Amino acid sequence: MTKALGPAGREMGRAELVVLVAALSGVNAIAIDVMLPALPALGQTLRVAHDNDPQLIISAYLLGLGGAQLLAGPLADRFGRRLPLLVGLAVYVLAALLAPAAPSLPVLIALRVVQGIAAAGTVLGQAIVRDRFSGAAMAEVLSLANMAFMAVPVVAPAIGQGILAVGMWQHIFLLMAGLGAAMWLWIFFRLPETLAPESRRAFHPTVMLQGFGAVLRERSSVAYGLGTMCLMGSLFGLINSVQQVFVGIYGLGVLFPLAFALVAALQSAAAFVNARLVGPVGVRNITHLAVLAYTLLAAGLAAASLAGNPPFALFYGLLLPVMFFFTWANSNMVALAMEPLGRVAGTAASAFGVAQLVGGTLIGMAIGQAFDGTTRPLSLGYFAMGLLAVGATLLAERGRLFGRTAQASP
């Protein structure tokens, strides 16, 4: 672990770093989850043609966020972590301020793409952690940050519901702008530059291709990156269609934010348990157990849905443990993918971010747009992505599960 001083000359401790990395991810969670209760009202205001169309403002943000990481990582390896974060957050705030005036869904979708592109730097939290930690310590810090980040979806839909109770969906974007401005100030005054000068890489197409080539040459990193893409696809499928499932099928109404919050709270608890176990049990053992348990539970969810919409207690009772093991599998797969790539951590974070967000978003869009008034598309999506994640894990480990120790790259 290396120490770094903030702009004011005071060292940023591990606890503050964990919270900051979690808050960077929270910027994106707010931009996504706080909008969920507003999708029907937004659709009515903008006169959308189809009930599934409002989902597109979620996918638009994620596509912008993911696609921009092709440049965010290499830029961060050239200019450091602070500058891309500060520039991106400034544009994010501007897009959020313009969104309430959008006259149509296509205009709002375009602004959401811009907002997502601007937020691409926020995923550099993984690279910041990799700059300062390695091995089990890195996995533990990422898991703790993930635990704090999971607190955002617990409250975000309720915040959105509360804003709608006293205002309009446009006011949700003003909340995003305020939070983005607060993050900008925190980073400006407190975040040190974590990338050592000797580790900076030239921003040139050849150098970029070399960096991406270094990522692609690591078979296990590529495989685990594909595994996280599949898992994120199932998550985005849930986010896209959760309002229609919980409210449209099961009639939860104003209880929807509470049901969603319990899912997120369980994920936060899973991240906490993972952080405690990952050191003594091992990153790989936890990951392999989690991806197998996730897939078996998803198979039960799919089987229950094939016979028709299952009772809410059964659907929800299976969804909760599926999301528990999703958290274990996803956070540790990210650590395993990053582990051999210390020399190109920014580029690696960029490459995996593109895979997780662009690939995952396209998968999630397909699942969400397939919503037909039943739980089948979502449940089958979970199961299919679980099978693919198991396959990616076997590819990463050459067909062997459990027991091997990771080796850090300097």
Instruction: At 52, give phi and psi (nearest 5°).
Output: -85, -10
Q: Which of 54-63, 158-167, 317-326, 345-354 has the lowest mean pLDDT?
A: 345-354
Q: Which pTM value belongs to this model?
A: 0.76
Q: How far apart are CA 38 and CA 122, in angstroms?
A: 24
User: What confidence category does residue 289 fall into, taking pLDDT thresholds of 50, 70 and 90?
Assistant: very high
pLDDT of residue 7: 56
Taking the domain 14-396, which CATH number applies?
1.20.1250.20
Nearest-CA neighbor of 121 among 211, 27, 43, 197?
Answer: 27
pLDDT of residue 123: 67
| For range 96-100, the mean pLDDT | 95
Percent of the chain whose predicted confidence (pLDDT) is above 90: 37
pLDDT at 125 over 80: no
User: What confidence category does residue 301 fall into, taking pLDDT thresholds of 50, 70 and 90?
Assistant: very high
Kindly report, residue by residue over 25-55, the tens digit of the pLDDT. Answer: 788 888 988 998 998 888 888 888 788 889 8
Nearest-CA neighbor of 297 among 401, 237, 379, 378?
Answer: 379
Map out the domains of the chain as residue ranges: 14-396
Torsion angle in degrees (nearest 10) through CA of 126, 82, 121, 204: -100
Residue at 224: amino acid letter: Y
